[in-house]
Amino acid sequence: MLQQANRLKKRKEFGYIYRNGTALYSKDLVVMYTTNKFKRTKFGFAVSNKVGKAYVRNIVKRRLRAIVRLNMASVVSSRNYVIIARPTIASCTYEDVEQQLLQLLSKVQ
């Protein structure tokens, strides 16, 4: 589980990133990010109903959180990220998701 201080939770925070953020795309994921004035990196996850039923969405969110938690040291700090899952992610393996997410996060400058 991500630490409380590293999570985006408020609708206002997500909305700001959607409006002002920069987006990076892959087959199954979209990563949007903006800079912030704090030294902390924050992550939010968006998995829509199009991905599947609740248990599928929860599995996807757990995978994404685990990947982020295990790779926090390699992520550019002082940014807020929103990771958006596309509907095709439900059929991907953990390794596929990890590869795509790490590739997108490495493109952030």
Q: Give per-residue pLDDT as tens, 10-58.
A: 999 999 999 999 999 999 999 999 999 888 899 999 999 999 999 999 9
Distance between CA atoms of residues 75 and 68, nearest Å: 9
Using CA atoms, how far apart are residues 16 and 19, in angstroms rounded to an integer? 5
pLDDT of 3: 85
CA-to-CA distance for 88 and 39, rounded, in angstroms? 34
Of 32, 30, 22, whose CA–CA distance to 87 is shortest? 30
- Given a contact cutoff of 8 angstroms between Cβ atoms, the answer to whether 29 and 100 are in contact is yes
- Whether the CB-CB separation of 1 and 69 falls below 8 Å is answered with yes
Which strand (E) or helix (H) includes residue 82?
strand 79-85
**Is the pLDDT confidence value at 1 over 90?**
no
Of the pLDDT bands very low, low, confident and very high (cuts 50, 70, 90), residue 5 is confident
* Amino acid 24: pLDDT: 96
The tens digit of pLDDT for each residue in 89-108 reads 999 999 999 999 999 999 99
